[in-house]
Structure 1
């Protein structure tokens, strides 16, 4: 089997690029040949390379993160009278691309203007975008989501049969188990790209509320991850300086530790040096006008791999992902609920231990070699049906 992969790949700074790189390696380890189409100077896949597409059995794309490139090329391939089967993993269901994938000259200019003009333009063109998403979805041989919640919502919104949308969990590497950190101090970790919209401000305010109620509380927080992600709508200003100023103003600067631009080789050690990962994500009102974003998180998959429970908000599909005794969800933007959850973890260390055990069990089930096997089975089925 020879598969062409349409996706961002490292060193692109995004969670989807990290996923695609790990997915490609796992598929290769299963004996599946995964090739990347030739690109032009702008990083696009020119349609002129007809010979390339005739040499592959199937084209698989990673859709999400606000990127339009993969979506547009699937449209081009779908328009051909003959060609390879097309499939895609949808990282941000219940939509495929979420905004106009090929804006006009005016739309491209608006995209570079200050907030909220790009988001308002996306709202204005949303109905046309949704029609294109549904047309593409109908022409794909299979769609994949990382959660059952995402699969249900995607099938409903794209108006395709639920049987064509497959749930294959986010893979994770196999990691040697390490016991929880010793000592009485609860070590919390935010891990992931650090940029506006991740709810980090809410987490800082919740920690400040815990400390205000219990000045002697044994709790610390580490903020770790990349600081230069590839973003669809980047925020202005020095966000790290804003977070540092907020922490200082809340009186918790001495409770924080920073691990910025964490090297890949240090991810496991960093996560396992903590008791619980905290993902305080929030979904903006502008996104909610377009649909319900119900994907999962690469950071969450790392927590499973490292055997660490997760405290998250009820955004995305976190309620499903943390329903097996491996963590807890609280309402997004609810500082009081987050503070109460942190306080309970301080008071009940056995709760932390139970979460860790369940997370490790999930991590074993979701090793990349297992996930690659599910994908290989799906692709074989698609090709067999086609034959």
Structure 2
């Protein structure tokens, strides 16, 4: 069955995890030569340059922008909608619901956040979104279980399809003579880098002591509100701890080739996130698929993917535990090898071609069973 996909999401040149996810999914679903298109959500200050494949841009502040966005999506066979609170206009991003209700084609809504303690408004909105969607995808089993336990949704609509991973696996690349720790992604409060720095200070007796790369630009929304205050605080902390010479800050947005080389240079990927809510982490998936051992705080996606698997879990905001876990991997070659082997077992199901095929199968079912209905007036 030939299906033309329309996507609603942030999208490059916007630089955020959601945009990267949507671009990758759109690219893989379009590899069969089927034309698709993206309705791009653009916020204040975003670059409005149109990337190939963008058929319409819904800019912040456009009155009733949902109407034209729905019209653009209705020109395809199915709409794939990325949902995250705050990227759409309206309270809690509620105007996405207006889009869904105006669609005449079936829809798949991908939930990137499922809160365990939502506000009443957030809970009601997510329940209505799930009701309006033809199918709902959660990226982790943790998000699936949280959705069913905490929200009034139809279980038959819910599927779990993992976050896709790029092909970054390959032979190690040595960038440093010392062991190399790595965290990457958009930077801002909540990333927990301060705890990793404090953990690094506890590893000074290792010979040689490791170096730590913190790669990625400051999140645009953080930069807009607070500038580079968080990054500056990290530099100050590193200096106070006496480890500034061991930390490399690479404030860049990496293309696939550069990111692949950076990941393969790491001995350990460190994810010291503060959040106990995070049910989706693209960085975690990429690290596992690249077969790099991971040390992560016990946020839900990490618990799901790393328990008895390819990494070690530590409590939140606990530099001593971070240091202990990192030391174990760096000083116990058998443990590091075991973690890499476990990564290899998880890797095939995380690859984008496999993930895209899951979406194709779900879309085909929805399109086959769809019966067009008239849309209510404006």
Q: Which TM-score band (shorter chain)? A: 0.7 to 0.9
In structure 1, the partner of 2:353 is 369
Per the alignment, in what secondary structure is the counterpart of residue 373 of structure 1? helix
How is 1:1-387 mapped onto 2 (pairs within 5 angstroms)? Answer: 1-37=3-39, 38-39=56-57, 42=60, 45-48=65-68, 52-64=72-84, 66-69=86-89, 71-80=93-102, 83-94=104-115, 126-179=119-172, 181=174, 185-211=178-204, 214=205, 216=207, 218-231=209-222, 234-235=225-226, 238-264=229-255, 265-283=257-275, 293-387=277-371
CA RMSD of aligned residues (A): 2.8
Q: Following the alignment from structure 1 to structure 2, what is the Cα–Cα distance between the partners of residues 182 and 354?
A: 23
**How many corresponding residue pairs?**
348
The 1:5–1:215 alpha-carbon spacing in structure 2 relative to 1, beyond 3 Å, is: closer
8 Å contact 1:27–1:372 — kept in the other structure?
yes
8 Å contact 1:149–1:294 — kept in the other structure?
no
Q: Following the alignment from structure 1 to structure 2, what is the Cα–Cα distance between the partners of residues 46 and 166?
A: 26
Alignment gaps of 5+ in structure 1: 99-125, 284-291
The 1:76–1:66 alpha-carbon spacing in structure 2 relative to 1, beyond 3 Å, is: closer
Q: Following the alignment from structure 1 to structure 2, what is the Cα–Cα distance between the partners of residues 154 and 33?
A: 33
Per the alignment, in what secondary structure is the counterpart of residue 307 of structure 1? coil
Deviations 1:282-302 (A, max 9, x none): 12xxxxxxxx62422111122
Per the alignment, in what secondary structure is the counterpart of residue 248 of structure 1? helix
Q: Following the alignment from structure 1 to structure 2, what is the Cα–Cα distance between the partners of residues 185 and 230?
A: 34
Deviations 1:18-64 (A, max 9, x none): 11111110110145542124235548644147754442222211112
8 Å contact 1:178–1:272 — kept in the other structure?
yes
Q: Report the alpha carbon displacement of residue 371 of structure 1 after superposing the two structures with TM.
A: 0.7
Q: Report the alpha carbon displacement of residue 352 of structure 1 after superposing the two structures with TM.
A: 1.7
Alignment gaps of 5+ in structure 2: 40-55, 372-378
Q: State TM-score, norm by structure 2.
A: 0.83
Greater than 4 Å deviation, 4+ residue runs: 40-46, 48-51, 180-184, 231-237
Per the alignment, in what secondary structure is the counterpart of residue 39 of structure 1? strand
Q: State TM-score, norm by structure 1.
A: 0.81
Deviations 1:147-190 (A, max 9, x none): 11111112222221333211111111223521475998421111
8 Å contact 1:95–1:158 — kept in the other structure?
no
Per the alignment, in what secondary structure is the counterpart of residue 67 of structure 2? coil
Per the alignment, in what secondary structure is the counterpart of residue 316 of structure 2? coil
8 Å contact 1:3–1:35 — kept in the other structure?
yes
The 1:72–1:277 alpha-carbon spacing in structure 2 relative to 1, beyond 3 Å, is: same
Q: Following the alignment from structure 1 to structure 2, what is the Cα–Cα distance between the partners of residues 209 and 223?
A: 18
